[in-house]
Amino acid sequence: MSDPVVLDIRALSSEGAGIGSLPDGRVVFVHRTAPGDRVEVEITQLRRRWGRGRLVRILTPGPHRRSAPCPHQARCGGCPLEHLEYPAQLDAKKERLEEALRRIGKLQDLPSVEVHPSPREFRYRNRVSFTLRRLAGARVVAGFHEVDRPDRIMDVDEGCLLPEEPVARAWGALRRSWGPGAGRLPPGGELRLTLRGTAEGHILLLVEGGHGEAGDAGALLGEVPGLVAVWHRAGPSDPPRLLAGEGEVEEQWLGELHPVRPGAFLQVNRGAAELLHDLVLRELAPPRGRTLVDAYCGIGVYGRRAARHGGRAVGIELDPQAAEVARARAPAGFRLLEGAVEARLAEALPADLVVLNPPRSGVADGVMERLAATPPERMVYVSCDPATLARDLARLGSGFRIGRLQAVDLFPQTAHIETVVTLDRTGSPSEPGNSIQLQRA
């Protein structure tokens, strides 16, 4: 679009792109750059206040830039921060969290953020989704979207450093086994392939999109190591259908056996997930004799654990498949309300303790206001997006104070961060406490 420009990169965006500024003050986002870099950039998109650029060359590298371990990283959109040393990734995520809480939530006097790194920097994902696109001449490309051209698919083999080793081996074998034009998979121009591995090494494949019957999905079971089931879902609202293999596979997860089915949510980083769950449970202790609401509960990890330790817990979950898993073999003292949290929360209150673990969009309108009107002694908010977390905390008003801020890196090499916020109900003015009251700046 124009001659290259020179930018100094000062920070990272929520997508992991470097942030620099043009002489006229407009902010420019450039993938594959790092704080401290001086870079030459081709401007690819320019708006009144911001623009996007494509990295041409690095003039001076920043102090924490490294050579990306994965050969695909220059074009692949799967690991936007891999060119940054891991401690610097954590620092960037911490800064992004603090900035969101202050700028969006208008919160001040925050406690220091305690950052917990992932036990594994690479090979940590037990679930990975790839896009498969059929091309002319029975050709197939399968992998992740390209970083600067998201309409294109970057072909990615088992050398990808994100999946756990058994999942990576299964992906490589699947690519070699699906036949010309991926004819053993359901027909269709584009498919989404999700491989899910259990701790025991079993692999499930969910194929989404396409139509009709798969050519020979059953043959894949004997050729892909660990593969025990192939499922298909034509549309996002359709129930998954078993094409071949075992309909019931169980996973040992936080001391319980849970059925692993397409659509049922379990964290993708099992080591960091155990750390995250332990942090949340410590903030909730002791549950004995107390009532807990586990909102957006998924399979009910926190509520079921509290019930097993003498508490009374109510889980609230919208997804029917996750709700079914949460009910299965539920301990005494745990019950489930199926439906939207904003619709069912009033039935579960009042409570001593509340866990909020919403999707990236945060809690629905009215949820924080209802909790402020019927405040529990303590809430623990588990968030995967600093912006919506900040928005939701601002909705609480002054009835709670932040006792602790913890960040867990569930997704190394990406810009995502998981946050655990402990919120205590505000006592009388004379009540001592080491928590910080929510304040608007």
pLDDT at 431: 39
Separation between Cα atoms, residue 114 and residue 88, nearest integer Å: 15
pLDDT at 51: 96
Separation between Cα atoms, residue 128 and residue 159, nearest integer Å: 13
Q: Residue 397, SS3?
A: coil
264: confidence class by pLDDT, cuts 50, 70, 90: low
Separation between Cα atoms, residue 12 and residue 18, nearest integer Å: 5
pLDDT at 347: 96
pLDDT at 71: 85
Separation between Cα atoms, residue 189 and residue 201, nearest integer Å: 31
Asked if the model's pLDDT at residue 218 lies above 90, the reply is no
Please say whether the beta carbons of 36 and 70 come within 8 A. Answer: no
Indicate which residue of 70, 76, 79, 384 is catalytic: 384
Q: Where are the beta strands (DSSP E) in 9-119?
A: 11-12, 18-21, 27-30, 38-46, 50-60, 113-116
Asked if the model's pLDDT at residue 229 lies above 70, the reply is yes
Per-residue pLDDT reduced to its tens digit, 346-371: 999 999 999 999 999 999 999 999 99
Please say whether the beta carbons of 152 and 145 come within 8 A. Answer: yes
> Domains plus CATH for the chain?
5-65 (2.40.50.140), 95-119+269-437 (3.40.50.150), 127-260 (2.40.50.1070)
Q: For 96-122, what is the mean pLDDT?
A: 95
Separation between Cα atoms, residue 1 and residue 45, nearest integer Å: 8
What is the total residue count of the chain?
441
Preceding peptide of 286 cis, ω within 30°:
yes
Q: Are strands 312-317 and 353-356 parallel, antiparallel or unpaired?
A: unpaired
Asked if the model's pLDDT at residue 42 lies above 50, the reply is yes
Please say whether the beta carbons of 188 and 150 come within 8 A. Answer: no
pLDDT at 262: 73
Separation between Cα atoms, residue 401 and residue 212, nearest integer Å: 55
**Which has more pLDDT, 428 or 409?**
409
Per-residue pLDDT reduced to its tens digit, 182-203: 999 999 999 999 999 998 999 9
Of 419, 420, 421, 415, nearest to 93 (Cα)? 415
pLDDT at 432: 35
**Which has more pLDDT, 344 or 212?**
344
pLDDT at 1: 53
Query: Residue 210, exposed/middle/buried by CB under 10 A (0-12, 13-18, 19+)?
Result: buried
pLDDT at 133: 97
Asked if the model's pLDDT at residue 166 lies above 50, the reply is yes
| pTM (2 d.p.) | 0.89
pLDDT at 215: 67
Q: For 160-166, what is the mean pLDDT?
A: 96
Asked if the model's pLDDT at residue 416 lies above 90, the reply is yes
Separation between Cα atoms, residue 129 and residue 124, nearest integer Å: 14
Contacts of 215 (CB under 8 A, 6+ apart): 179, 183, 184, 185, 187
- Calculate what percentage of the chain has a pLDDT beyond 70: 95
Of 361, 408, 410, nearest to 126 (Cα)? 410
Asked if the model's pLDDT at residue 231 lies above 70, the reply is yes
Question: Is 384 annotated in the active site?
Answer: yes
Of 36, 27, 84, nearest to 60 (Cα)? 36
Asked if the model's pLDDT at residue 16 lies above 80, the reply is yes
Asked if the model's pLDDT at residue 275 lies above 60, the reply is yes
Preceding peptide of 350 cis, ω within 30°:
yes
Q: For 325-346, what is the mean pLDDT?
A: 94
Separation between Cα atoms, residue 171 and residue 177, nearest integer Å: 10
- Residue by residue, DSSP assigns 188-238 as SSEEEEEEEE-TTS-EEEEEES--S--SSHHHHTTTSTTEEEEEEESSTTS
Q: For 7-23, what is the mean pLDDT?
A: 95
Q: Helix 386-394 and helix 86-103: axis angle, to 10°?
A: 30
Please say whether the beta carbons of 47 and 66 come within 8 A. Answer: no
Q: For 242-254, what is the mean pLDDT?
A: 84
pLDDT at 257: 75
Q: Which of 239-243, 325-329, 384-388 ranks highest by mean pLDDT?
A: 384-388
Asked if the model's pLDDT at residue 429 lies above 70, the reply is no
Separation between Cα atoms, residue 433 and residue 441, nearest integer Å: 21
